[in-house]
């Protein structure tokens, strides 16, 4: 309604009444209208947070995360603000892990049959992974059939052999471990889980501090386990109606940990990855607040979030083409092409996701 008033003042009171307008009155009316619009927008903003919001805005969070990851991979060189935001895009993977952990807990809660649970999760991932893996092998690796299977069964990742990317092997491993974590949560083995996560963080810290990391991809998996476990903890809190204060406790503890670790990346670069892990509760809160208050973007974010797996794999193809110099981006057009690539990956991912959901073959395997 306020926007309509502004338009009325601009086009009716000013342009169409040109001969008799009073510019001072026009300016005053426009100023008052803008002031009222801004005041109403501020007054109507929703800054309330409940831990249930993570579940309610799960698709939106996945949408924000994949967009942030693509900003990192494709980079921004001309728009300084976007460039600053993009360089921390690997934190989008941490949010993915949190949301995946939350989803795993609720999925396990609905499945008494663990084998059926594993079947459903693997069918969610592997058909798309194998299909796009064919393109990846043809374009970049020129695999034989044996190499293709070794790479895309994820065996290569875990045996020090050939692999495509690190995220899918890592999330599959976490899928296999999640029933044990859920069992520990349900039995209130919080101390055990806490000690496991602390041990993992200490190992990750030691590897970074001593610069022992040979394959960074395995390090990426290692230090993301706490994010996944934290997501399962959030789901446990939601299921059992526990207070949101536990979430804020992690958020408050994480900020000084980030402040301590982040400056060390000037000495050992991998501290940059490690330190942002501690801001996952903060980033998650920020994205939820944005989605709560700029609601018109949520339908788009949901579409992107629901197709995040497909979008991630497609952008991986473009990313490999860029780093292998198969695609060259002119410097003068860099940011425009980056935006174009992000939009293209989203459209292709959403299309593949839609075709997969409406494919008779996929439905046959599901049942």
**Complete DSSP assignment for 270-327:** THHHHHHGGGHHHHHHHHHHHHHH-GGGHHHHHHHHHTHHHHHHHHHHHHHHHHTTSS
**With left for phi above 0 and alpha for psi between -120 and 50, is residue 241 left, alpha or beta?**
left
Q: What is the pLDDT of residue 20?
A: 42
User: Is there a contact between 248 and 194 (Cβ–Cβ < 8 Å)?
Assistant: no
Instruction: Using the structure block, give the residue that is written with the tokens 């075709």.
Output: 355
Enumerate residue ranges in the chain where pLDDT < 50: 1-2, 4, 6-21, 365, 367
DSSP 16: T
Domain residue ranges of the chain, discontinuous segments joined by +: 2-39
Rounded to 5 degrees, φ, ψ at 240 are -100, 15
Q: Write down the pLDDT at residue 199.
A: 84
Closest CA to 277 of 315, 221, 206: 221
For residue 358, give every residue at least 6 positions away whose Cβ sits within 8 Å of its Cβ, in sequence order, or none. none
Q: What are the φ and ψ backbone dihedral angles of 154, each rounded to 5 degrees?
A: 75, 5
User: Using alpha carbons only, what angle is made at residue 90 by residues 333 and 221, rounded to the nearest 5 degrees?
Assistant: 140
How much is the CA Rg of the chain, to the nearest whole Å? 24
CA atoms of 142 and 129, how far apart (whole Å): 17
Whole-angstrom distance, CA of residue 342 vs CA of residue 68? 10
Give dist(CA 171, CA 66) in Å, integer. Answer: 15
Give the largest CA-CA distance in the chain: 82
What is the DSSP code (8-state) at residue 264? G
Distance of alpha carbon 363 from the chain centroid: 27
* Per-residue model confidence as pLDDT tens digits over 209-227: 766 665 677 888 888 888 9
Is residue 118 exposed (0-12), middle (13-18) or buried (19+ Cβ within 10 Å)? middle
Contacts of 312 (CB under 8 A, 6+ apart): 66, 69, 167, 349
Q: What pLDDT does residue 27 have?
A: 57
With a CB cutoff of 8 Å and minimum separation 6, the contacts of 36 are 2
Residue-level pLDDT at 204: 80
> What does the alpha-carbon distance between residue 118 and residue 176 come to, in Å, rounded to a whole number?
8
What's the confidence (pLDDT) of residue 7? Answer: 46
Tally of CB atoms within 10 A around 229? 24
């Amino acid at each position: 309604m306020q926007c309509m008033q502004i338009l009325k003042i601009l086009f009716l009171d000013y342009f169409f009444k040109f001969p008799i307008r009073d510019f001072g009155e026009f300016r005053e009316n426009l100023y008052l209208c803008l002031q009222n619009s801004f005041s109403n927008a501020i007054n109507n903003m929703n800054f309330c947070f409940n831990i249930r919001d993570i579940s309610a805005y799960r698709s939106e969070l996945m949408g924000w995360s994949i967009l942030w990851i693509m900003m990192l991979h494709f980079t921004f060189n001309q728009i300084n603000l976007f460039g600053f935001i993009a360089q921390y895009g690997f934190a989008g993977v941490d949010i993915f892990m949190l949301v995946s952990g939350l989803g795993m807990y609720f999925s396990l809660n609905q499945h008494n049959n663990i084998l059926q649970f594993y079947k459903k999760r693997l069918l969610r991932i592997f058909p798309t992974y194998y299909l796009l893996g064919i393109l990846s092998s043809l374009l970049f690796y020129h695999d034989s059939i044996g190499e293709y299977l070794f790479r895309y069964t994820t065996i290569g990742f875990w045996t020090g052999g050939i692999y495509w990317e690190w995220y899918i092997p890592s999330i599959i491993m976490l899928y296999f471990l999640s029933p044990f974590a859920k069992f520990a949560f349900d039995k209130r083995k919080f101390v055990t889980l806490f000690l496991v996560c602390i041990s993992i963080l200490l190992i990750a810290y030691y590897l970074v501090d001593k610069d022992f990391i040979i394959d960074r991809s395995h390090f990426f998996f290692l230090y993301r386990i706490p994010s996944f476990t934290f997501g399962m903890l959030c789901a446990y809190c939601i299921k059992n109606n526990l207070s949101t204060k536990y979430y804020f406790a992690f958020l408050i503890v994480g900020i000084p940990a980030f402040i301590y670790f982040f400056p060390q990346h000037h000495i050992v670069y991998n501290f940059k990855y490690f330190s942002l892990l501690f801001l996952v509760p903060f980033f998650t809160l920020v994205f939820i607040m944005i989605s709560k208050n700029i609601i018109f973007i949520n339908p788009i974010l949901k579409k992107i979030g629901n197709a995040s797996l497909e979008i991630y794999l497609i952008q991986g193809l473009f990313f490999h083409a860029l780093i292998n110099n198969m695609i060259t981006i002119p410097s003068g057009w860099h940011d425009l092409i980056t935006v174009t690539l992000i939009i293209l990956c989203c459209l292709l991912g959403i299309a593949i996701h839609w075709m997969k959901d409406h494919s008779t073959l996929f439905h046959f395997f599901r049942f």
